[in-house]
Amino acid sequence: MSELPVHAPAVSTRATAAGLTAQEVLTAAGAKDSAVARVDGVLVDLTSVVAQDAVVEQVPYASPDGLAVLRHSAAHVLAQAVQELFPGTLLGIGPPIKDGFYYDFLPAQPFTPEDLSLIEKKMSDITRQRQRFSRRVVSERDAKAELGHEKFKLELIALKGSAPEESVEVGGTELTIYDNLVGTETVWSDLCRGPHLPTTRDIPAFKIMRSAAAYWRGDQANEQLQRIYGTAWASKDDLKEHLRLIEEAEKRDHRRLGVELDLFSFPDEIGSGLVVFHPKGGVIKREMEDYVRRRHLEEGFDYVGTPHIAKEGLFHTSGHLPYFADGMFPPMVMEGSDYYLKAMNCPMHNLIYRSRGRSYRELPLRYFEFGSVYRNEPSGVIHGLTRVRGFAQDDSHSYCTKEQAPDEVKHLLTFILGLLKDFGLDDFYLELSTRDDSKPDKFVGTNEDWVTATAVLEQCARDTGLELVPDPGGAAFYGPKISVQARDAIGRTWQMSTVQYDFNQPRGFELEYQAADGSRQQPVMIHAAKFGSIERFIGVLTEHYAGAFPAWLSPVQVVMIPVHSDYDGYLWEVAAQLKASGVRVEVDDSDDRMQKKIRNAQKLKVPFMLIAGGEDVEAGAVSFRFRDGTQDNGIPVADAVARIVEAVLSRA
């Protein structure tokens, strides 16, 4: 979003003599505002000496590389501030990230909010001192000696060369340490690849955001460190704009809007991660479901229904219990059997398939339902509607021959993308989740089947023309998957739909069809959730629209407001006409004054307010006020009704 402002093209020039610094070369070429330089394609400090004839490019602060460097430099200042305030605190890593940076620490005590204010102040002190970042190449041996007390840094040095991913600390062919100099005195040092800004004073704008815990090197089995997040920008204005965007995002948080618009809640008495939809949220849910069900029928799916629980054996047959038991609610015992709440619908659909013999003529056979599933999500991951313990998937399973599989996957992808567009989402990319070959115990099936299935999905994904991002190791235990990631109105991405290619469950359930030659063959099944989960989708839509749903989804489509209570009766008559056309309309005949009624309807983000006073009554008209505050006055009632009905039908 704000990461890529329009700027003059970066200056690119050549070093005309030996012994010049990148800064000197760029200044001679008239380039100001450089965070670092790119010399022959490599980012280096402005203070580094460049070879004669080297190509030296300016890297502006506001460029992606420039931002990464200034954020990384800010991370260094953070680490320095922490170690000065809390001596003995060990350092983890401190990379730049989207919008900012973080640094991981192992302090004696976790940081308090007061600590964070102190740290931010200390950082300001350090930046004011204009400390110079000075690069020094060290041998591995010297680095180990110098950093002997920093056990995490030692681990990074040991990983150098063996780690597949390069980090901001080590990488490339040599180890470097950056010293912070005041005059000629070194006041602080850190193992770092660089490059950095020339001085701490060159960090244009930063702010400490929050602290949180994080596992060392992202592994739950490792020690937990304290991470401090900050944000940093190329100018104070950029920082202000970033903070404003955060505020905007908070305003459209679906958890907040859920309360304000009376859509849903999460009663403690029911349990964590279990939602109840209130009548207004129920309208949105019903409209969505009705539309999605209709579209499935149009696309050749059969609507089916299955229970919420099943005996243990079913989930053994499907293979879920061995691989997914931790993700399921614990069983309940009845009449000597263990019953599980289902965490997925496929096993039950398989039983419908298996209920009688199947012919190749029936394939592809497509079952669809809003299947309620329950998953034992760890308490710490539950989040509003986007991560719950009980939810409905708009789940389908397509049974087809191997030969039909590519076409069926394509069919599903086309269907899904069209459906998401119908709900106002139109910016997507795809993710291809594949098997992790180093963890064979987490996946079932032969290598050959995995290769085939993955190839089919990859080809279909490429055929959409959308960006395709690999997700190694992200596959389900029974097969690879494509997931559709949608970007919302303010650029955040959400995982929505999934399409999974499954050759394992048909084997486990011994699913068969009789082929044209009379032989019995095994079908493959394609799992597909279009919205992923109804609950998550409602949460995402709420944020996408900031609660201002399009008219067809709005819980209340029209609020009628009399200028004076004398006109209540007239509005009730108009409302009756709207109701007769299927419009969800309310008449505000409360004791509030007109202005207050407008305010109330505006806060509820009702798409149409219809206001009427003496002038309208005389003319047989009503006056529109729209959500954006604009008006359209004196519209004949029949026209007004037609306009509203048209807006709803067009799903605008």
Partner RNA sequence: GCCGGCUUGGCGCAGCGGUAGCGCAACGCUCUUGUAAAGCGUAGGUCGUCGGUUCGAUCCCGACAGCCGGCUCCA
Which residues belong to the active site?
Answer: 346, 375, 393, 395, 397, 481, 527
Site for RNA in 291-350 (CB under 7 A): none
Q: Is 496 in the site for RNA (CB under 7 A)?
A: yes
Q: Quote the distance between the C-alpha of residue 518 and its chain's center.
A: 49
Give the C-alpha separation, 510 to 18, whole Å.
75
Q: In what order do the strands lie in the sheet containing 55-60? A: 12-14, 55-60, 34-39, 42-44
547 contributes a contact to RNA by CB under 7 A: no
Beta-bridged to residue 498, according to DSSP, are 483, 529
Q: Which stretch binds RNA (CB under 7 A): 69-77, 157-165, 510-518, 605-613?
A: 605-613
Contact flag: residue 94 with RNA (CB under 7 A): no
Candidate list 17, 18, 163, 212; residue touching RNA; CB under 7 A: 212
- State yes or no: residue 613 binds RNA (CB under 7 A): yes
How many C-beta atoms surround the C-beta of residue 245 within 10 A? 15
- Residues between 400 and 419 with contacts to RNA, criterion CB under 7 A: none
Residue 86 interacting with RNA (CB under 7 A): no
Q: Which two tokens stand for residue 538?
A: 């409602």
Residues contacting residue 611 through CB under 8 Å, at least 6 positions apart: 560, 561, 562, 563, 594, 598, 622, 623, 624, 625
CA distances from 394 to 304, 425, 548 (A): 11, 17, 24
Does 41 sit near RNA (CB under 7 A)? no
Q: Which residue(s) pair with 484 in the sheet?
A: 430
- Give the interface segment with RNA, choosing from 9-17, 25-33, 329-337, 604-612 (CB under 7 A): 604-612
184 part of the interface to RNA, by CB under 7 A: no
Per rule CB under 7 A, is residue 78 in the interface with RNA?
no
Q: Is 639 in the site for RNA (CB under 7 A)?
A: no
Which letter does DSSP use for residue 70 in this model?
Answer: H
Distance in Å, CB of 118 to RNA, minimum? 15
Task: State the greatest distance between any 2 C-alpha atoms of the chain, in Å, as a whole number.
Answer: 93
Helix axes 64-85, 113-128, angle to 10 degrees: 110
Per CB under 7 A, 117 contacts RNA: no
Nearer to RNA, 611 or 648 (CB): 611
d(CA 381, CA 366): 33
Q: Which amino acid is at 65?
A: D
Pairing of strands 302-303, 608-612: unpaired
For RNA, the closer CB: 493 or 650: 493
Exposed (0-12), middle (13-18) or buried (19+): which is 432, by Cβ within 10 Å?
Answer: buried
Residue 563 found at the interface with RNA (CB under 7 A): yes
The CB-of-582 to RNA minimum distance in angstroms stands at 25
Is 213 near RNA (CB under 7 A)?
A: yes
Rounded to a whole number of angstroms, the minimum distance from the CB of residue 352 to RNA is 21
Q: Is 565 in the site for RNA (CB under 7 A)?
A: yes
Q: Which stretch binds RNA (CB under 7 A): 26-34, 216-224, 413-421, 514-522?
A: 216-224
If phi > 0 it is left, if psi is from -120 to 50 it is alpha, else beta; for residue 388 that is: beta
Residue 535 near RNA by CB under 7 A: yes
Angle at the Cα of 249 (from 245 to 250), degrees rounded to 5?
Answer: 115
Query: Please, which of residues 617-636 interact with RNA by CB under 7 A?
Result: 623, 625, 629, 631, 633
Rg (CA), the chain: 31
Minimum gap (Å) between residue 68 Cβ and RNA: 18
Q: Judged by CB under 7 A, which of 76, 122, 296, 375 binds RNA?
A: 375
Reduced 3-state DSSP string for 163-174 = CCCCCCCCCCCC
Q: Which stretch binds RNA (CB under 7 A): 50-58, 159-167, 236-244, 598-606?
A: 598-606
DSSP state of 510: T
Q: How far apart are CA 132 and CA 123, in angstroms?
A: 14
Of the listed pieces 35-43, 179-187, 199-207, 586-594, which binds RNA according to CB under 7 A? 586-594
What residues from 459 to 488 belong to the interface with RNA (CB under 7 A)? 474, 476, 483
Among 86, 215, 329, 339, binds RNA (CB under 7 A): 215
CA distance 313 to 321: 9
Binding to RNA (CB under 7 A) within 497-516 occurs at 498
In the complex, the smallest distance separating the C-beta of residue 265 from RNA, rounded to whole angstroms, is: 8
Structure tokens at 427: 């910016």
Question: In this complex, which beta carbon is closest to RNA, that of residue 322 or of residue 614?
Answer: 614
Compute the distance between CA of residue 272 and CA of residue 343 in angstroms, rounded to an integer: 16
Q: Which of 417, 536, 637, 641 binds RNA (CB under 7 A)?
A: 536
Please identify, using beta-carbon distances, which residue of 194 and 539 lies nearer to RNA: 539
Q: Which is nearer to RNA, 356 or 439 (CB)?
A: 439
**At its nearest, how many Å lie between RNA and the CB of residue 447?**
21
Q: Name the minimum Å distance from CB 85 to RNA.
A: 17
If one asks whether residue 110 binds RNA (CB under 7 A), the answer comes out as yes
Structure tokens at 618: 């005389």
Omega prior to 195 cis, within 30 of 0: yes
Q: What are phi and psi of 440, to 5 degrees?
A: -60, -25
88 near RNA (CB under 7 A): no
Per-position x/- string for 217-256, each x denoting binding to RNA as judged by CB under 7 A, each - no binding:
-xxx---x-xx---------------------------x-
Separation of alpha carbons 232 and 206, rounded Å: 4
Residues 378-397 within binding reach of RNA (CB under 7 A): 378-384, 386-389, 391, 393
Burial pattern 27-57, b for ≥16 Cβ within 10 A else e, equals eebebebbbbbbbeeebbbbbbbbeeebebb
For RNA, what does the binding mask look like between residues 267 and 296, x meaning CB under 7 A? -x--xxx-----------------------
Tokens of 449: 């089947």
Asked if 573 touches RNA (CB under 7 A), the answer is no
> In this complex, which beta carbon is closest to RNA, that of residue 38 or of residue 227?
227
Number of residues that bind RNA (CB under 7 A): 75
Here the tokens at position 428 are 């997507």
Among 22, 405, 611, 641, binds RNA (CB under 7 A): 611
Q: Does 95 bind RNA (CB under 7 A)?
A: no
